[in-house]
Structure 1
């Protein structure tokens, strides 16, 4: 295991793509282990692909790319603007609400951050918001996508940990809405102090809200339809992915009439590239996962933690601190695939609900995408808005503190996370 970890981190530092770094690290374990034929490693790569729940990944990726071409984005922006532009820091508030609504469409934090940086970023800067503040709001609000269904991270966690994806989707709704509220409160406090005004002088009328919601109804109904389809037993999570593609096609071609055949081909091409990248990571992670189990890493780590404490809350806290530090250096998808088989067997015997732990884990590892030194969402937004990273870091500190405080609350009160899945499933 030491050689495997060493090879992985050395290859990462050398700039090798993550999927190949995982594959070569896993392969090194089987080459150097006399008790383990190399053919077993090859079999594990093939075995990792033989999973019905994995079908949800390419379907949801394709649905997200199709949705971005159906005219849904500008309808959601209009809806968000009507709802919150009257508040202090109006356009920044719009960005946060839009992240919440887009989380139910794209399922990807980086995609959401890039879209908002292109569309809302220049407008925020033109209205006097600093580049650092603008970048921090857009990047960190994309964290909401980590829990709002259909989160790709939750699908992968459910696949690796054998946890109900339907329950995970339901459990992510309340934390996602709480994240929105916490970030909006942070923006409000900063905007009041700096004099970032509202975009609209008056609060919207019920008629204006109703009109905006009606115009964006097909986007707003999408995550609701997914949850009810899973809860009602109409579709499995994998089948819901196929339904999402059909839904995006119907909305794009027939209802909004903004999805062209050329746009459909572009979405398909982008989805193939994204799916290929994700699936390579998943397949090569099969070797590493087998090595982790063979070396009894979960048992060793559990024994080490038991020597420190048997208190479930403290064990979860230690794991979350480790995940936060790991997320600063490694992409969230990789952490979910590699660390779920280690930590889930540790916390489950202690009475920690795997759904609760999944929401905490997905939030904290995705948070790494918004923080240095290797935050993908952070670099994406800063490059698009030409913002120095040091300015971003300074402006992001209040938002980082707010997010960490919310994670502490969600850890201490599992009922906030488990309320919906326990009530509906």
Structure 2
């Protein structure tokens, strides 16, 4: 079964509405069986080998940590801190939604979890304040997308597993781009408010006392991202160990410090996080079969050569890569996009003139932006559910914010210090 037929079968299954994991697994298994070059049992072996990875253990652990912190009152205290820091700006609630998402993104590693945890508090608050529900959903979706860029980041863990890149360096590479995206989104919400797009455009006075008190109340909450980031960047933990430390810290904080987490609630929280992690891990396992088939058929090298046939200029080639990633992020789920596209992009590194870690940051930022574009923009879908607005209405209101993020993407792609300065400190 040729590479073209494999990709055609995959596209047909997507169009027929098959679940992402089923479509990828069926295309890979079908190609394996029809080729006759390997036994069908190889598919099972590839699935097990693909999921049997120590770094991938960080995925369910970060999801459990996010659930514990949301239920334990940590997300609410981060919202209060964000309000004290930026709530005085014109369009203060919108700025709070972005900053709170950035803070929570330093814990969960998941854009969907980030959008849901913070949006459950702030989207209703914005609507009560007089925000259009579609605008409230758009702002929260845009802020939530940063959750996979600011470390810890589940897509960066997957990129590291796929390429052998240091996950610690990838996390470091995402910190400055995540901060850039958050700051520019806050600036965009302020401009929209001043132009009459938000009901709280007049703002209020900044209160250092209020900010200091909010920081004190959120001190324990901020300990979680401090442990994760400080441990990894300081060389104390690897990604999986930091995820385990985050789970223990979140459990202790919720049960014994804030006392908002009940013992009886733990089984349901663990089950919810496990189901979400199982979906991701099943997709990874299925994708390994298809990835093996495509590798044997030398599809990544063929597609890379095709891209090089379009242009060999590094700047133009990087623009083409960004365009491909943006389109993929629009139509393909993030995990599947990583497994399918990363093997194609890595051979292009000598021609792009960038390093593997910078490529990882560029890939994840592109796919984060894809979470804001229909039809498969997960952050949009979550925000629509919380705001009650239609997907089309939220997508229309997110368009100006999307332009801001695209400008950030160009800066991240073509100004290497944003993604290389912090990783360089880890290798000294």
Same fold per superposition (TM over 0.5)? yes
CA contact (8 A) 2:134 2:387 kept: no
Aligned to 2:5: 3
- Aligned position for 2:111: 109
**1:325 matched to which residue of 2?**
327
**Alpha-carbon distance between aligned partners in 2 of 1:48 and 1:387, rounded to the nearest angstrom:** 39
| 1:202 is the counterpart of 2:201 | no
Alpha-carbon offset, residue 66 of structure 1: 1.1
Tell me how far apart the structure 1 counterparts of residues 391 and 36 of structure 2 sit (CA, whole Å).
47
Q: Could you report, residue by residue, the CA deviation over 1:359-391 in whole angstroms, capped at 9, with x for unpaired residues? A: 111111122221112222212212321212332
Unmatched runs of 5 consecutive residues or more in structure 2: none
Q: After alignment, is 97-106 or 192-201 more displaced? A: 192-201
Within 2, Cα distance between the matches of 1:208 and 1:118? 23
Matched with 1:281 is 283
User: Which residue is 2:67 aligned to?
Assistant: 65
Q: Does 1:338 align with 2:336?
A: no
Q: Which moved more, 1:260-269 or 1:174-183?
A: 260-269
1:201 and 1:240 mapped to 2: Cα distance?
Answer: 39
Q: Secondary structure at the match of 2:199?
A: coil
Residues 287-298 of structure 1 aligned to structure 2 (within 5 Å) = 287-298=289-300
Q: Does 1:384 align with 2:386?
A: yes
Q: Is the 8 A contact 2:315 2:352 kept in 1?
A: no
Residues 150 and 175 in structure 2, CA contact (< 8 A), matched pair in contact too: yes
Task: Answer whether contact 1:315 1:347 (CA < 8 A) is retained.
Answer: no
1:149 corresponds in structure 2 to 151
Superposed CA RMSD in Å reads 1.7
Cα separation, 1, equivalents of 2:234 and 2:22: 40
Q: Which moved more, 1:192-201 or 1:100-109?
A: 192-201
1:389–1:54 Cα change, 3 Å = closer
1:174 matched residue in structure 2: 176
- Matched ranges for 1:230-269 at <5 A: 230-269=232-271
Return the alpha-carbon distance in structure 1 between the equivalents of residues 167 and 68 of structure 2. 23
Shift of 1:199: 7.7
Structure 1 CA distance for aligned equivalents of residues 38 and 354 of structure 2:
34
Q: For 2:177, what is the secondary structure of its paired residue?
A: helix
Any conservation in 2 of the 1:102–1:145 contact (CA below 8 Å)?
A: yes
Deviations 1:20-65 (A, max 9, x none): 1111111011011132332322221121122221111111111111
- Residue segments in structure 1 that go unaligned for 5+ positions in a row: none
Structure 2 counterparts to residues 112-131 of structure 1, below 5 A? 112-131=114-133
Shift of 1:325: 0.8
Displacement of 1:348 in angstroms is 4.8
CA offsets per residue over residues 143-170 of structure 1, 9 Å max, x none?
Answer: 1112111111111111111111001111
Which stretch shifts more, 30-39 or 356-365? 30-39
How many angstroms apart in 2 are the aligned matches of 1:384 and 1:199?
Answer: 26
Q: 1:410 to 1:250 in 2, by over 3 A?
A: same
Residue 308 (structure 1) aligned to one of 292, 307, 310: 310
Counterpart contact for 1:299–1:346, Cα < 8 Å: no
Q: TM (normalized to structure 2)? A: 0.95
Q: Deviations over 1:91-150 (max 9, x none)?
A: 111101011001012221112222333211122122222122111101111111121111
Aligned partners of 2:343, 2:101: CA distance in 1, in Å? 30
Deviation at 1:221, TM superposition (A): 2.6
* Equivalent residues of 2:91, 2:190 under 8 A apart: yes
Distance 2:186 2:203 in 1: 17
Equivalent residue of 1:340, what SS?
helix
Selected match of 1:397 from 393, 399, 409: 399
2:227–2:245 CA contact under 8 A, matched in 1 = no
Partners in 2 of 1:78 and 1:268 — Cα distance? 26
Assess, with a 3 A threshold, how the Cα gap between structure 1 residues 63 and 115 changes in structure 2: closer, same or farther.
Answer: closer
Deviations 1:375-425 (A, max 9, x none): 222122123212123322322111111000110011110111111111233
In structure 2, the residue matched to 1:162 is 164
| Structure 2 residue corresponding to 1:86, chosen from 68, 85, 88 | 88
Take 2:55 and 2:408, find their aligned partners in 1: how far apart are those partners? 30
